[in-house]
């Protein structure tokens, strides 16, 4: 329900059940979708937008019946254009072609490497922003989880709030959902190994996020299983049991098997070696997703094949020239 404050002319928006659980910035992106993103964040930062008469940060999760005060838009906040910029259209078209599964509640796509899931930190276009412009139900789309910008593969996008809440519960408890990744690592890593190093997240002065193994960190578990051995390196399946930031990358590096192309936690010399065979990105791919759809109980298994660039790298590493590869 929306009302207007007769004194200030500000809009008072009451959060409905459908909107409950959304981040404040995402809620405003839908409500004020023609207002430039920088202005929306300024309204939050300066306290012009208030929740229950108090200031809130952009990542505040809205609750049912919260009262959001939206001030009258000033001239500099007024909508400039409703036309999506070329970058949004181009990326949106690419993402729609990458859809692996879709129903009335959920969309799963094979996210390309190099596209952030969310705009920010100097990036104006992310997966969710581009899809909101390109998809017919774009205004209702919400990220279920995240992938690093340079990580490709299965990414879930909820089309309804009930689906979002149900999937978040599965991710929180670890029940009915399983994610598997493919990664190329340095060295010979035989068999299967469960890594359970606790992880601690830190933010540098530059704003960059870094994660390290620490006894005071949060518990984290990843199972690594060998898929195929190559000279001096191994193609692994990584199955995260918990869902910490950069978990697979840090666990691999801490096990002395850094992931190829990892410029944050990896090996400079190993990365240079792989560049010679055409690897220009992080070799980490969300390959498989198994889950129970919370809205109908159906079990689904989604596979996102490795892209051609990663397949070409593996082909050059294969000493026998065997065209068969277990990633397909």
Catalytic residues: 148
What are the structure tokens assigned to 186, written together?
């340095």
Q: Is 200 helix (H, G, I), strand (E, B) or coil?
A: strand
Q: Is 204 helix (H, G, I), strand (E, B) or coil?
A: coil
Q: Which residues contact 223 (CB under 8 A, 6 or more apart)?
A: 192, 193, 194, 195, 238, 239, 241
Q: How far is CA 31 from CA 15, 119, 136, 159, 163, in A?
A: 12, 18, 17, 17, 21
What are the structure tokens assigned to 188, written together?
């010979």
In this structure, the dihedral spanned by the alpha carbons of residues 162, 166, 168 and 174, taken in order and rounded to 10 degrees, is -170
DSSP annotation of 60: P
Helix ranges (H only) for the chain are 24-31, 37-45, 86-97, 127-134, 161-173, 247-254, 268-275, 308-317
Q: Is 220 helix (H, G, I), strand (E, B) or coil?
A: coil
Nearest residue to 281 via CA among 252, 264, 260: 260
DSSP readout, 151-199? -EEEEEEESSHHHHHHHHHHHHH--SEEEEEEEEEES---SEEEE---E
């Amino acid at each position: 329900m929306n009302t207007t404050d007769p004194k200030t002319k500000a809009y008072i928006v009451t959060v409905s059940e459908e909107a409950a659980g959304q981040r404040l910035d995402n809620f405003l992106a839908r409500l004020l979708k023609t207002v430039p993103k920088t202005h929306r964040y300024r309204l939050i930062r300066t306290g012009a937008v208030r929740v229950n008469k108090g200031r809130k940060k952009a990542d505040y999760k809205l609750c049912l019946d919260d009262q959001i005060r939206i001030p009258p838009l000033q001239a500099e906040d007024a909508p400039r254009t409703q036309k999506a910029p070329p970058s949004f259209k181009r990326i949106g078209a690419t993402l729609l072609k990458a859809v692996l599964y879709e129903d009335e509640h959920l969309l799963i796509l094979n996210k390309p490497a190099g596209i952030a899931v969310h705009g920010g930190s100097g990036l104006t276009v992310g997966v969710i922003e581009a899809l909101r412009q390109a998809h017919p139900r774009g205004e209702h789309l919400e990220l279920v989880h995240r992938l690093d910008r340079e990580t490709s593969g299965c990414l879930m996008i909820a089309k309804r709030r009930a689906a979002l809440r149900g999937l978040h519960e599965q991710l929180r408890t670890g029940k009915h959902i399983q994610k598997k990744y493919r990664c190329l690592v340095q060295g010979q890593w035989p068999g299967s190994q469960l890594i359970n190093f606790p992880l601690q997240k830190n933010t540098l002065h530059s704003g960059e996020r870094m994660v390290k193994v620490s006894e005071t960190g949060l518990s984290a578990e990843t199972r690594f299983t060998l898929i195929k051995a190559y000279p001096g390196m191994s193609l692994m399946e990584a199955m995260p049991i918990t869902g910490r930031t950069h978990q697979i990358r840090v666990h691999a590096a801490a096990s002395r098997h850094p992931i190829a192309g990892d410029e944050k936690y990896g090996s400079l010399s190993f990365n240079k070696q792989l560049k010679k065979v055409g690897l220009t990105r992080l070799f980490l791919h969300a390959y498989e997703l198994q889950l129970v759809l919370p809205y109908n109980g159906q079990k689904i298994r989604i596979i996102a094949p490795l892209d051609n660039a990663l397949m070409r790298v593996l082909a050059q590493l294969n000493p026998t020239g065997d065209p068969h590869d277990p990633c397909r």
